[in-house]
């Protein structure tokens, strides 16, 4: 694989066809999870379908940014409820897992639920933006989270990682894990 470097604050734009597809997928995911009795753990006043749609948009932004192969796009498009212990991230790159977090707030923190600590993915990406216009705010590896755990803020049931603690994406990072 060609070595790539993607700096923090790189803009990513999705066309409206992808945004519309993401919102349709978000709605299907939400309905699929409720149909099997999976609890809705999102604690927000925002519309659940907005949050789910924007989550899929973030995954599409990551797939676009990483020039993900078609099987990763199909993985995003697959609708099936997953248990936390079976959730191996949103995108795989050379056998490493990436969980994508998306927020409409420019100054957002990357949030990792405490319940995910035992089953963390290899990397976490943060995107901010909405409706097709996103900014890659950086990434953090699970090793970095574990090594710096006590330096992060804890609110509710999540670890709050500030953007200042996030790094550029360097594909060479894959070989160091």
pLDDT tens digits, the chain, 177 residues: what are they?
Answer: 456 789 999 999 999 999 999 999 999 988 886 565 655 556 656 777 888 999 999 999 999 999 999 999 999 998 876 655 556 789 998 889 999 999 999 999 999 999 889 999 999 999 999 999 999 999 999 999 999 999 999 998 999 999 999 999 987 666 554
1 domain residue, yes or no: no
Phi–psi pair at 31, nearest 5 degrees: -65, -40
Whether residue 2 is contained in a domain is answered as no
Range of the domain at 100: 8-176
- Asked whether residue 3 is domain-assigned, the answer is no
- Round to whole Å and give the CA distance between 54 and 141: 23
Residue 158: inside a domain: yes
134 found inside a domain: yes
pTM attached to this predicted model? 0.89
* Total of domains in the chain: 1
In-domain check, residue 88: yes
């Amino acid at each position: 694989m060609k070595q790539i470097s993607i700096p923090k604050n790189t803009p990513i734009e999705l066309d409206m066809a992808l945004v519309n597809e993401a919102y349709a997928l978000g709605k299907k995911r939400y309905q699929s999870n409720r149909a099997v009795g999976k609890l809705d753990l999102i604690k927000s006043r925002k519309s659940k379908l907005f949050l789910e749609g924007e989550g899929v948009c973030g995954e599409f932004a990551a797939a676009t940014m990483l020039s993900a192969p078609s099987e990763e796009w199909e993985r995003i498009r697959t609708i099936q409820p997953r248990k936390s212990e079976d959730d191996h991230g949103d995108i795989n790159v050379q056998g490493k897992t990436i969980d994508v977090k998306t927020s409409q707030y420019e100054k957002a923190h990357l949030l990792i639920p405490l319940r995910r600590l035992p089953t963390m993915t290899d990397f976490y990406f943060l995107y901010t933006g909405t409706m097709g216009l996103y900014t890659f705010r950086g990434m953090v590896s699970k090793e970095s989270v574990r090594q710096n755990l006590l330096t992060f803020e804890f609110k509710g049931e999540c670890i709050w990682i500030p953007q200042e603690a996030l790094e550029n994406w360097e594909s060479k990072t894959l070989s160091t894990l």
